[in-house]
Amino acid sequence: MKTLAHRNIPITIIGGGIHGCSIALRLLRDMPAAAKHIAIVDRHPKPLTEWRNKTERQGMTFLRSPIVHHVSPDPLGIVEFAEHHNRSNEFAPPYSQPSTELFWDYCKDAVTELMDQNIYYQFEVSKLHWNKGSGKYPFRLVSKDNIGFRSSAVVLAVGSDDCVYIPSEFIEWTRRFPGKIIHSSQFSLDSLKNTDGRKKFVIVGGGLTAGTLAKSISELGHQVVLIARKRLKTEQFDFPPTWLGPKALTNFANESDFLRRYHIIKENRGEGSITPDVMEILTDSTNIEIYPETIIRKILSVGENKLGQCLRMETTHGMINHVSDVIFATGYRFNLRHYGFLKDLMKQYSIPLICGLPILDTDLQFCPITNLFGSGTVVQLQVGPASSNIAGANLAYARIREKLLARLPKNSI
């Protein structure tokens, strides 16, 4: 495998998740000769690792979004793939949502192009420098092991996994009971494989991660109490689909107050919802109790049983006894300050933030740093409530396309 050390790369994408790979595949579609001028850098050895890990650890069986949202630029590519492999039965009604396995196999197939063309590199960025006026390659990226290279343009597609969110009042309990009270990102269904006995889990959260975990854990024979601060909401999508169309996006763009934009995003994404198919399973299951509109007051240790330390939870819904594990499925709250490799750059150029999200220009550039772009959660204040979802990559690419193509050497056009 080629190394990046000391090279000059016209376009570097930081993050090889759905967004980073989608941007790269779209660039290649627009300009096939661009392959030797693009690099994706990611801390994992293979693309889409975070997505694969998360869906497997939770036991998610179907996507929430419809058939046309995936990693490649061909909207119906997954349909052809399914037909070709006799897997057309893996689309679920009512919106032809693909099974997680079909989605994964299709995306894995689509990104082999990035591996075959040596576009993807395992490289964890620990510093990003920008030296305005230093010529054609003003960005310098440095890895954890001190390997450096230069780039003409950089796209940040870092997701939000570095921004795990647990409400502040619960953090002390995660410290007091390490391994027993955890965030959903620390949990894997695999950990239940060799469990000898029936555990009782409390899952905290009202979104699809909480619902999927409750379903998957209960299907393994364990008992689950699902606690949500509000009433559980049932929705097929996690934002109204109008946010993919021009009308809502134009109105959003016309809102000049970025704090107001932040609140529009919050209002439209809500605090999470559960798809109708998962909700039906939750309400029908005899292994699951649902406590909506419930506040946790206290968690205590009440000794040990054969499954380990036993907890008791005091809630506004009553006492929950014999709890073996508590999982906070309380999501992620993006904050650019959590990305250490950007710290100096943000300070040096005073990147403005609203509740941790950067204010970018309409081309998704981090003004005043020219040719530093974003895709995914980081561009929410420009792209709106859909930006962190799979479909958001297409919306982001439409905004950054021209400027990125302009960074490529003329002979590759």
Ligand X SMILES: Cc1cc2nc3c(=O)[nH]c(=O)nc-3n(C[C@H](O)[C@H](O)[C@H](O)COP(=O)(O)OP(=O)(O)OC[C@H]3O[C@@H](n4cnc5c(N)ncnc54)[C@H](O)[C@@H]3O)c2cc1C
Smallest gap from residue 412 Cβ to ligand X (A): 25
Nearer to ligand X, 41 or 210 (CB): 41
314 lies in the site for ligand X, by CB under 6 A = no
Instruction: Give the contact letters, 133-172, x = binds to ligand X (CB under 6 A), - = no.
Output: ------------------------xxx-x-----------
Query: Residues 334, 377: contact at Cβ < 8 Å?
Result: yes
CA 304 to chain centre: 37
The pattern of x and - marking residues 90 through 129 that bind ligand X according to CB under 6 A reads ----------------------------------xx----
Question: Which one-letter DSSP state was computed for residue 57?
Answer: H
Q: How far apart are CA 321 and CA 300, in angstroms?
A: 10
Phi, psi dihedrals of residue 113, rounded to the nearest 5°: -55, -40
**DSSP letter for each residue of 198-252:** --EEEEE-SSHHHHHHHHHHHHTT-EEEEE-SS---B-SSSS-GGGGSHHHHHHH
Q: Is 129 left (phi over 0), alpha (psi -120 to 50) or beta?
A: beta
What is the C-alpha to C-alpha distance for residues 146 and 202, in angstroms, rounded to an integer?
Answer: 43
| Candidate segments 12-20, 79-87, 329-337, 356-364, binder of ligand X by CB under 6 A | 12-20
Residue from the set 4, 10, 11, 15 that interacts with ligand X by CB under 6 A: 15
Looking at the chain, the number of H-run helices and the number of E-run strands are: 12, 19
The site map against ligand X for 65-84 (x = CB under 6 A) is: x---x---------------
Q: Total residues at the site for ligand X (CB under 6 A)?
A: 34
Residues 35 to 64: which contact ligand X by CB under 6 A? Answer: 41-44, 49-51, 54-55, 58, 60, 63-64
Which residue in the shown chain puts its C-beta closest to ligand X?
Answer: 17
- Kindly state whether residue 227 participates in binding ligand X, applying the rule CB under 6 A: no
Q: Please, what is the minimum distance in Å from the beta carbon of residue 411 to ligand X?
A: 29
Instruction: Compare residues 49 and 268 and give the one whose CB is closer to ligand X.
Output: 49
Min CB(157)–ligand X separation in Å: 5
First to last CA, the chain: 26
3-state secondary structure of 9: strand
Residues that bind ligand X (CB under 6 A): 14-20, 41-44, 49-51, 54-55, 58, 60, 63-65, 69, 124-125, 157-159, 161, 341, 376, 388-391
